[in-house]
Amino acid sequence: MNRKYLNYLMTIGIIVYILIIAPQSWAKTYLIAENMSSSLDLTVVYKINIPSGITKLSIKSVRFPNKKNPASMQKIIDSQFIPSTRPTSTKELTDQWGNHIIVRSWARPPSYLSAIAKYKITLDRYLKQFQGEFPYPIKSLPEKNKIYLQSSDLIQSNSNKIRLLAKKLLTGVKNQVQAVSLVLNFVVDHMSYRVNPSKYDALYTLENAVGNCQNYAHLSAAILRSGGIPVRIITGITAKKGWEARTETSSWNIKLGQGRHAWLEVYYPNFGWVGYDPQQTLNFVSTRHIAIEVGPDTYDASKDGAIVWTSSGNIQPSVEEKITIKFERDRETFSTIGEQPSPRNNLFSSPFRIAALKPAPLLEKPEKPSMPRYTLEEIKQFSMYSKRSFGNLTFPRLINIFARGYYDEKGAKTLRRSFVSETAEYITSNRKYSQKIEIPYPLKLYDISLALHKFGGQKGFLWLTVMKDEHNKPGKKNSQKQYDSHFKNWFL
């Protein structure tokens, strides 16, 4: 991957909690009922080096939308676009999905061009307001929303594999919220995160069980559309600042990388479009999600920041993008009001399921799980000298923030965004993030190997924290042992 497109550096740190626990014992959907509210300033800086031979260059910008339904609001207070060189022409258009696009063009462009886009935004989430009677299957839809039931090259909702899976998951379901939750529970348990998969479509994702935010969104949308539920893809920007969900016994910090991201919205009759992030949340997206575009899939929702040019040969500009976000007002800590015992990986949800569904008794306090019991013959099968690997061992490589290569569209070449905002599994900050590992059999630990992959910078560090198991959770601080190794100018 060409380094000239890399506009940010990352350092990776991983804590490994090694526990001998029963499978699925941490299975949770945490329910949050408190409102979320934030006000922020977003700045996007573009730096474009333009080689000779490019005769015309354009930058596409999508006007950030004002969005509102009873449970969610995004309001754009102010926006500016400041280029280093005044464009030769500017035109505005609206695509078939309703995205308002501004195209700024430079005839005979300079060898270097920069631009600063500034936005002042408020975001509010009213989690208790998502309520209603949503029977499933859906009986009728507005004509304009039926387009979001169709199959596409990235969302193959008509494939036999997707249809059979949708039928298996949704047969007998009577409520749309429950139907959507069942599909997203499957997706989050089926997949492992990979920053740069070879493909992004739903079938590849189902068959390989890996991918980034595009894969999560496309697979979720394909299953839901196959089940008759309209889904549209949202692309935008996420902030790196985390938010915290506190239970009676623990605290979870939920975080994404700062950058371009994709998620989805589901249509509910008589209510509107409701946001879901298949990597994090059900029935809402947090105030770290800034929506920009909408479309049937990520290809149709990737015009913001796209670079279009004409040239006399096979040449292209190099582009860097830097995103900064400053919160002026923010609430970042929320209390949970209950839990549901699925999926195997954690999700966070609005409290709709308490009021309307109640598919299972609410677990106000986690039950003490029983430890697995093994026969002597089973224990003999565990070789004390065998080497075993746990966790996500697919480390990210150098990341291009733009799509691989460019598209040639009627003589004009277009470089579109890819969406590679990472999960906390690959990101460090002033907090420590853990990769949970479940080991469903007895294990005696002798040796541990750790790997650190650095993307520049001068220092990196590895750490391992081994904590005592207390009812299938990390024990108190005085029960832990920490081992640290520090490196300078060290690369793997």
429-446 pLDDT, tens digit per residue, is 334 444 555 555 566 666
Residue 314, in any domain of the structure: yes
Contact between 246 and 259 under an 8 Å Cβ cutoff? The reply is no
Residue 492, in any domain of the structure: no
Q: CA 360, 363, 365: angle at the middle one, nearest 5?
A: 170
Confidence of residue 171 (pLDDT cuts 50, 70, 90): very high
Report the C-alpha gap between 159 and 226 in whole angstroms.
9
Residue 70, in any domain of the structure: yes
Residue 174, in any domain of the structure: yes
The pLDDT value recorded for residue 138 is 97
Choose among 220, 277, 236: nearest CA to 254. Answer: 277
The pLDDT value recorded for residue 437 is 55
The pLDDT value recorded for residue 15 is 30
Burial, 414: exposed, middle or buried (Cβ in 10 Å; 0-12, 13-18, 19+)? middle
**Once rounded to an integer, what is the mean pLDDT over residues 60-89?**
97
Domain count, the chain: 1
Using left for φ > 0, alpha for ψ between -120 and 50, and beta otherwise, residue 106 falls in beta
Report the C-alpha gap between 383 and 7 in whole angstroms.
46
Q: CA 7, 13, 15: angle at the middle one, nearest 5?
A: 155
Residue 373, in any domain of the structure: no
22 has a pLDDT exceeding 60: no
Residue 143, in any domain of the structure: yes
User: Regarding predicted confidence, which is higher, 474 or 312?
Assistant: 312
- CATH classification of the domain holding 274: 3.10.620.30
Residue 358, in any domain of the structure: yes
pTM value is 0.76
Residue 389, in any domain of the structure: no
The pLDDT value recorded for residue 342 is 81
> What residues pair up with 436 in beta bridges, in sequence order?
17
Give the count of beta carbons closer than 10 Å to the beta carbon of residue 5. 16
The parent domain of residue 45 ranges over: 25-366+395-426
Confidence of residue 8 (pLDDT cuts 50, 70, 90): very low
Radius of gyration of the chain (CA): 24
Of 196-205, 208-217, 455-464, least confident by mean pLDDT is 455-464
How would you classify the pairing of strands 231-238 and 347-349? unpaired
